[in-house]
Amino acid sequence: MSTEWLAEHLDDPNVVVAESDEDVLLYDTGHIPGAVKMDWHADLNDPVARDYVDGEGFARVMSARGITPDRTIVFYGDNFNWWAAYALWVCSLFGHEDLRLLDGGRQKWVAEGRPLTTDGPGREPSRYPVLPRDDGSIRAFKEDVLAHMGAKGRMVDVRSPGEYSGELTHMPDYPQEGALRGGHVPGAQNVPWKTAANDDGTFRDADELTEIYRAGLGIADGEEIIAYCRIGERSSHTWFVLRHLLGMENVRNYDGSWVEWGNAVRVPIERPDQPIRPPLD
């Protein structure tokens, strides 16, 4: 959704605005009026299970923010909406139907001089139902990636070129931590996630995205695709582009991504300085 559309719908009771940032303290410095905060780490993840919250946990998160299944949720955030896309993807696992991203995110809203507030959202708690989490249709696990790799399926590594080559194990200018090995899943093609965005944080137009992904990677209609990054947030952004902007039906996000793959025992990696070794039986 455009910033113009959202500005006109801030008072619409059927629209809930939700901010999800890399900088989890940013919301408290000023947010879009009426927006609720959705902390990607504290609200959506189960830190013990190393998984997402279950149906009961998700219902608590949504109920506390006054959200019901019939509401439109417009997500936005900092840094080109990467964590906003992640929050949207997690909500998709629970089947919430009307989920949208604010094109340009927090960056564009602020650049246009639109209002921010430190006031609370003022929403009354709701009774969101407990729904099952669907881990099969848009989510991939390590075993799925191994099978997909064995079938020479399409995989998109959305990390930086340095991470893809194995030179880095995290993004540039971040601590190099989280993975014992550098490289990429054998056969994966590299298209850094931010390639899909303009400098102002908005998405590139449909023709440009088609050139980048359909023509550039040779993706055919109906082809099964798995996207991954380091922990699943950048690949959520690319998943949104492929699934919702380009209409590709068979796209899954491997949220375990390189932190899991790079640390996993007896799974193959590919990098320029090492030959590919097949997974051990």
Residues catalogued as catalytic: 229
Closest CA to 140 of 151, 129, 131, 130: 151
Joined tokens for residue 54: 């279950």
Evaluate whether 234 touches 259 at the Cβ level (below 8 Å).
no
Joined tokens for residue 142: 């390590």
Residue 230 burial class via C-beta count within 10 angstroms: exposed 0-12, middle 13-18, buried 19 and up: buried
d(CA 93, CA 112) in angstroms, rounded, equals 33
d(CA 36, CA 66) in angstroms, rounded, equals 9
Phi-psi region of 261 (alpha: psi -120 to 50; beta: other; left: phi over 0): alpha
DSSP string, 110-141: HHTT---B-S---PPP--PPP-----SSSEE-
